[in-house]
Amino acid sequence: MRAAVLETSPGALVVQDVSVDAPGPGEVLVRTAAAGLCHSDLHFMEALYPTPLPAVLGHESAGVIEAVGEGVTYVAPGDHVITCLSAYCGGCDFCLTGRLYLCSNRAVLERAPGAAPRLSRGGEAVNQFMRLSSFAEQLLVHEHAVVKISPDMPLDRAALIGCGVTTGVGAVFRTARVEPGATVAVVGCGGIGLNVVQGARIAGAGRIVAVDVNRDKLELAQEFGATDVVDASQGDAVAAVRELSSGGVEYSFEAIGSKSATEQAFRMLRSGGTCTVIGMIPVGTHIELHGPDLLSEKKIQGSNMGSNRFRVDMPRYVDLYLQGRLKLDELVSARIGLDQVNEGFQAMKAGSVARSVIVF
């Protein structure tokens, strides 16, 4: 099959032939229909985060089950599925307390050491990225990495639920638990931030302030539900948000992966407010807060994949889309082929797209 491989980091992807094995016990083979480009892939391509190489990148996808391994009863060939990197063991402390996104025993979802690799070329193993490797014509994954969805759902838009929607909307619903009427600021309105904005709209937030340095993103944010916008390239974004929200917001979100934007998001809070950091801040970077701010009970927390229970959450997001309440059509700025994957990441860096989706 054709797949996009990261050979060296920093580096670009190289589209080439990679072999995929037959599904073993507990595994499913998925014919990839679509895969979205998320900034997290780019962080690994830019060596801001480490991953074993060579690896087939990509982690936001949807497709159709082609074959299942021994013991798999959850899905059958022909079923439509969304993949999720939050594959769960089902038996660790985190899984058993409803926090499968923090599962601490994912090794049991991998093949045993010494077994044939899931992905290979010329007889040598190619690493699977985040237990998925979505930039490929087929995915061979553990059954705990997929959720079955309605065949009515278009698969190119379903792919976006695999990371961006679940991360952004989930950060609002599940990590921060924003309540109706609350004030919200969203710093960074790319694929993730726009989903935070629409999550806040669906949750009934009263005021939703979108912050970005790109005018087009701010316009899109208004379409997704932002009540106010702040162009961070024009002066002090913290002061602007504090003024718009009469002294600070109850919930702020960082969706960039930047030290300074995280510090800004924290300073946008009113007393008692909560800052939720979604962006992947580069390894080795420390963030600085003004200690006395904690006396006013300001809080800061991380959010991993929207604190999801994806087999419950993703079908709900599908329903919200099919009812017209979750915007996904507007999120797809470009549909591209696998061969254009590097151009897709260039467009992300240039800020000209919300999401590019590879259609197979």
Site string for ligand NAD, 198-217 (x = CB under 6 A): -------------xxxx--x
Beta bridge partners, 128, equal 56
Task: Give the range of 10-18, 190-198, 318-326, 329-337 binding ligand NAD by CB under 6 A.
Answer: 190-198
Q: Which residues of 233-255 are buried (b: 16+ CB within 10 A; e: fewer)?
A: eeeebbebbbebbeebbbbbbbb
Smallest gap from residue 72 Cβ to ligand NAD (A): 27
Contacts of 244 (CB under 8 A, 6+ apart): 207, 209, 228, 230
Residue with tokens 């580096």: 11
Verify binding: residue 1, Zn ion, rule CB under 5 A: no
Smallest gap from residue 160 Cβ to ligand NAD (A): 10
Question: What, of Zn ion, ligand NAD, none, does residue 303 touch, CB below 5 to 8 Å by kind?
Answer: ligand NAD
213 vs 334, which CB is nearer to ligand NAD?
213
Verify binding: residue 38, Zn ion, rule CB under 5 A: yes
Report d(CA 50, CA 298) in Å as an integer.
Answer: 32
Question: What, of ligand NAD, Zn ion, none, does residue 55 touch, CB below 5 to 8 Å by kind?
Answer: none
Verify binding: residue 280, ligand NAD, rule CB under 6 A: yes
Report d(CA 332, CA 307) in Å as an integer.
Answer: 24
Report d(CA 267, CA 296) in Å as an integer.
Answer: 12
Q: Tell me which residue has its CB nearest to ligand NAD.
A: 190
Q: Which of 277, 262, 271 is nearest to 292 (CA)?
A: 271
3-state class (DSSP) for residue 307: helix
Question: Do 30 and 81 contact (CB within 8 A), yes or no?
Answer: yes
Looking at 56, 163, 169, 187, which residue binds Zn ion (CB under 5 A)? 163
Smallest gap from residue 42 Cβ to ligand NAD (A): 7
Verify binding: residue 261, ligand NAD, rule CB under 6 A: yes
Verify binding: residue 257, ligand NAD, rule CB under 6 A: yes
Question: Do 251 and 354 contact (CB within 8 A), yes or no?
Answer: no
Question: Do 280 and 40 contact (CB within 8 A), yes or no?
Answer: yes
Question: What, of Zn ion, ligand NAD, none, does residue 278 touch, CB below 5 to 8 Å by kind?
Answer: ligand NAD
Smallest gap from residue 264 Cβ to Zn ion (A): 22
Question: What, of Zn ion, ligand NAD, none, does residue 211 touch, CB below 5 to 8 Å by kind?
Answer: ligand NAD
Q: Which residues of 60-75 are buried (b: 16+ CB within 10 A; e: fewer)?
A: bbbbebbbbbeebebb
Q: Which residues bind Zn ion (CB under 5 A)?
A: 38, 40, 89, 92, 95, 103, 105, 163
Binding site for ligand NAD (CB under 6 A): 38-40, 43, 163, 167, 187-193, 211-214, 217, 232, 255-258, 261, 278-280, 303-305, 348, 351
